[in-house]
Homo-oligomer: A and B are copies of this chain.
Amino acid sequence: MTQLQKFFSQVDQNEQHYISRLAEAVAIPSISGDPSHRQDVVRMGEYLQQELKRLGASVETRHPGTQDWNGTGRILTLPPVILATIGNDPAKKTVLVYGHYDVQPALKEDGWTTDPFTLVVDDAQDRLIGRGSTDDKGPILGWINVVEAHKQLNLDLPVNLKFCLEGMEESGSEGLEKIIYDEAQNYFKDVSAVCISDNYWLGTDKPCLTYGLRGCVYYHLTLSGPAADLHSGVFGGTVHEPLIDLVHLLSKLVDSNGKILIPGIYDKVLPITEKERATYQDLSFSLQDLHNSVGNVINLHSDVESTLQHRWRYPSLSLHGIEGAFYNPGDKTVLPAKVTGKFSIRTVPDMNNEEITRLVKEYVASEFKKLGSKNTCTVELTHGGDHWLASPDHWNYVAASNAVEDVFGVKPDLTREGCSIPITLTFQEALQKNVLLLPMGRSDDGAHSINEKLNKSNFIKGTKLLGAYLYQVANARI
List chain A positions with a Cβ less than 8 A from chain B: 214, 216, 218, 225-228, 230-241, 243-245, 247-248, 250-251, 254-258, 290, 293-301, 307, 310-311, 314-323, 325-329, 331-336, 342, 344, 346, 371-375, 382-383, 417-420
Contacts and interface: CB of A to CB of B under 8 A. Distances in A.
A214 B232 CA distance: 11
A99 to B, nearest CB: 21
B298 A237 contact: no
Contact of A257 (B227, B254, B336, B372): B372
A237 B323 contact: no
B320 A227 contact: no
Contact of A321 (B296, B297, B336): B336
B320 A243 contact: yes
Contacts of A226: 294-296, 298
Nearest to A345: B236
Given A321-B336, A332-B342, 17 more contacts: A226-B294, A232-B316, A232-B318, A233-B420, A234-B311, A235-B418, A237-B315, A240-B258, A243-B318, A244-B255, A248-B255, A256-B371, A256-B372, A298-B373, A320-B334, A321-B332, A323-B328
Contacts of A320: 232, 243, 325-326, 331-336
A294 B239 contact: yes
A300 B238 contact: yes
Given A226-B295, A227-B296, A256-B240, A235 B311 contact: yes
B331 A298 contact: no
A321 B325 contact: yes
A420 B225 CA distance: 24
A243 to B, nearest CB: 4
A248 B245 contact: no
Contact of A316 (B237, B319, B323, B419): B237
Contacts of A335: 318, 320
B225 A298 contact: yes
A279 to B, nearest CB: 18
> Which of A237, A241, A342, A372 has the most CB atoms of chain B within a 10 A radius of its CB?
A237
A421 to B, nearest CB: 9
Contacts of A344: 232, 236, 331, 333
A354 to B, nearest CB: 19
27 contacts: A218-B331, A225-B298, A226-B295, A232-B316, A232-B419, A233-B420, A234-B293, A234-B311, A234-B419, A235-B293, A235-B294, A236-B318, A236-B418, A237-B310, A237-B316, A238-B300, A239-B294, A240-B257, A241-B319, A243-B318, A244-B255, A244-B318, A247-B251, A247-B319, A326-B342, A327-B327, A331-B344
Contacts of A236: 311, 316-318, 344, 346, 418
Contact of A233 (B214, B232, B233): B214
> Nearest 7 A-B pairs (CB), nearest first?
A233-B419, A227-B295, A237-B316, A321-B326, A321-B325, A236-B316, A251-B251
Contact of A417 (B234, B290, B318, B329): B234
Contacts of A329: 323
A317 B336 CA distance: 14
A325 B383 CA distance: 19
A18 to B, nearest CB: 30
Contacts of A342: 326, 331-332
A299 B238 contact: yes
B256 A244 contact: yes
A256 B368 CA distance: 10
A244 to B, nearest CB: 6
B319 A233 contact: no
Given A239-B299, A298-B239, A322-B321, A382 B331 contact: yes
Contact of A295 (B214, B228, B248, B336): B228
